[in-house]
């Protein structure tokens, strides 16, 4: 039982838009490759011919052809007064990776916030006989408190660097210089 590839029909303005995307230097090569697949498919070429012509795997051609066809069909079936106009942004959205690809986050935003808030508390409150937090002690305190199962010092540093917080005097003394917020003078 053979399957047939979905047909892609582009009007002249859509073809022109995709050609414009191909000419741009700021577009990554993987996206240009996907645009080339769509343009070749709109000319009526089969997946095997497109794969050979562009030195790609046939299944990759099929994936991007199918995704474009599905997105275009949904777009065409939507209310013409409500749907967005065809644009470079829309075309690149149709050719973007699906969400959820790649490595998942190890820590939730809630856990990150709790770790950032933990540095505002005194280390003595958590059983550390010191007045200044270190990344290692913050990691230990986060595990002891049940915020996370395990966490490294480096990850604690990354979390603190990405969150916006005003460290207490006790925290600043143990932080790397690059993590201490600079004070701005308005004058």
- Closest-CA residue to 16 (of 44, 37, 35): 35
List the structure tokens of 42: 């709109």
Indicate yes or no: pTM above 0.75.
Answer: no
pLDDT tens readout for residues 19-65:
999 999 999 999 999 999 999 999 999 999 999 999 999 999 999 99
* Segments making up each domain of the chain, as ranges: 12-94, 109-179
pLDDT tens readout for residues 87-101:
999 999 999 988 777
pLDDT tens readout for residues 58-68:
999 999 999 99
């Amino acid at each position: 039982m053979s399957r047939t590839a979905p047909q892609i029909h582009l009007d002249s303005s859509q073809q022109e838009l995709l050609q414009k995307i191909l000419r741009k230097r700021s577009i990554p090569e993987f996206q240009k490759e996907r645009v080339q697949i769509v343009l070749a498919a709109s000319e009526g070429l089969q997946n095997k011919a497109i794969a050979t012509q562009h030195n790609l795997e046939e299944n990759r051609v099929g994936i991007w052809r199918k995704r474009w066809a599905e997105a275009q069909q949904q777009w065409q079936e939507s209310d013409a007064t409500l749907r967005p106009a065809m644009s470079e942004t829309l075309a690149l959205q149709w050719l973007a990776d699906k969400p959820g690809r790649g490595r998942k986050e190890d820590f939730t935003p809630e856990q990150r916030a709790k770790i950032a808030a933990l540095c505002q508390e005194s280390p003595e409150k958590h059983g550390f006989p010191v007045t200044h937090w270190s990344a290692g002690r913050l990691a230990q305190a986060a595990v002891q408190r049940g915020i996370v199962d395990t966490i490294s010092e480096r990850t604690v540093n990354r979390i603190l660097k990405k969150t916006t917080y005003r460290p207490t005097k006790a925290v600043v003394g143990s932080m790397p210089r690059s993590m201490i917020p600079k004070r701005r003078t308005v004058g």
